[in-house]
């Protein structure tokens, strides 16, 4: 790991796997930043399409390209971190975008607020086919966010700009590796802040990892189980297991409902009806899938 950091430099780390249709637009959003003290590290994670050709068509000295076998997004990001040189780190997926002023606004914020380790922004989600914004993530959680982060990830991977630190992604996780990274980032005592502006975008595609929520659900439990030994977060972990198991239609959610409210009886009735609602929603989706009303969940 390169621990010698260049002051002011932002290392943008882009893992890519078979993103020939979108990686060019992603790179363009980096090259057009109003803040130009950047290096763009693109890690090709064993793509079998024309991704490499698209990347190499860009003639910009700030782009650093490397290729590896298909070991997964966490390995690709870790490789990018290993060769990065910047004081600041910007993660970016190869189908998402950052606005022209994002890095300028966030580097200025971090320089003016030395106690802050991570500053994030609002994020818009748009459909690839219609270019229509369907949702804006505008949650604001600042300071010590460890308890809130343990309950669920409120940060798209490219919303924050962070000060470099010796923290890597867990390559054993098949999904939600970004949530796990932010949990460990928060648990280390680092402080979060927010710029309440939309400065980045997430592209929603039928085949994107973020669009298949039902598949992602099963990865929640392995992540929170990593932290089940930390007593201070027992309530937060029980809440996550309760909600996610209910969304999966599992009766095990009843166990965590009881555990969640054993010492905190307030809200038991509310959460009981939430569980019934989530069970019903899950079973209706399964029935519709079985009847062929929907092709997938």
Estimate to the nearest angstrom the gap between the alpha carbon of 237 and the chain centroid: 19
Q: What is the pLDDT of residues 167-178, one digit of tens each?
A: 999 999 988 999
Burial status of residue 280 (CB atoms within 10 A of its CB: 0-12, 13-18, 19 or more): exposed
pTM: 0.88
pLDDT (0 to 100) of residue 211: 46
- pLDDT classification of 4: cutoffs 50, 70, 90: confident
Nearest residue to 41 via CA among 71, 70, 76: 76
pLDDT tier, 297 (very low <50, low <70, confident <90, very high otherwise): very low
Confidence (pLDDT) at 208: 53
The one-character DSSP state at 209 is: G
DSSP one-letter code for 231: G
- The answer for residues whose C-beta is within 8 angstroms of residue 141's C-beta and 6 or more apart is 148, 149, 154, 192, 194
Do 118 and 149 form a contact (C-beta atoms < 8 A)? no
Question: Could you state, in order of their start, the residue ranges of all structural domains in the chain?
Answer: 6-210, 212-290
Mean pLDDT of the chain: 90
pLDDT tens-digit readout, 207-223: 555 445 666 777 888 89
> Nearest CA to 9 among 55, 64, 54?
64
Mean pLDDT of 63-73: 94
Answer whether residue 106 shows pLDDT above 50. Answer: yes
The CATH number given to 6-210 is 3.90.550.10
Quickly tell me which residue has 């260049």 as its tokens.
Answer: 6
């Amino acid at each position: 790991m390169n621990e010698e950091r260049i002051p002011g430099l932002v290392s943008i780390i882009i893992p890519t796997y078979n993103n020939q249709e979108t990686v060019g637009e992603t790179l363009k959003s980096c090259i057009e930043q109003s803040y130009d003290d950047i290096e763009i590290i693109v890690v090709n994670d064993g793509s079998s399409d024309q991704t490499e050709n698209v990347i190499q068509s860009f003639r910009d000295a700030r782009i650093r390209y490397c290729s590896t076998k298909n070991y997964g997004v966490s390995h690709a990001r870790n490789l990018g971190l290993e060769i990065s040189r910047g004081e600041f780190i910007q993660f970016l997926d190869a189908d998402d975008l950052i606005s022209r002023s994002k890095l300028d606004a966030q580097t200025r914020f971090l320089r003016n607020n030395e106690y802050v380790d991570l500053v994030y922004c609002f994020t818009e989600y748009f459909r690839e086919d219609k270019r229509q914004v369907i949702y804006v993530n505008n949650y604001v959680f600042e300071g010590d966010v460890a308890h809130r982060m343990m309950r669920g990830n409120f940060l798209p991977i490219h919303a924050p700009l962070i000060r470099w630190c010796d923290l890597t992604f867990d390559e054993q996780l098949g999904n939600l590796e970004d949530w796990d990274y932010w949990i460990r980032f928060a648990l280390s005592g680092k402080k979060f802040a927010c710029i309440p502006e939309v400065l980045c975008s997430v592209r929603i595609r039928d085949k994107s990892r973020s669009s298949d929520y039902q598949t992602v659900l099963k990865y929640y439990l392995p992540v929170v189980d990593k932290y089940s030994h930390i007593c201070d977060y027992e309530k937060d972990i029980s809440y996550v297991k309760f909600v996610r198991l209910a969304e999966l239609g599992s009766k095990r959610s009843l166990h965590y409902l009881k555990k969640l409210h054993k010492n905190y009886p307030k809200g038991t009735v509310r959460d009981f009806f939430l569980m019934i609602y989530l069970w019903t929603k899950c079973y209706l989706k399964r029935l519709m899938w079985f009847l062929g009303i929907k092709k997938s969940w």
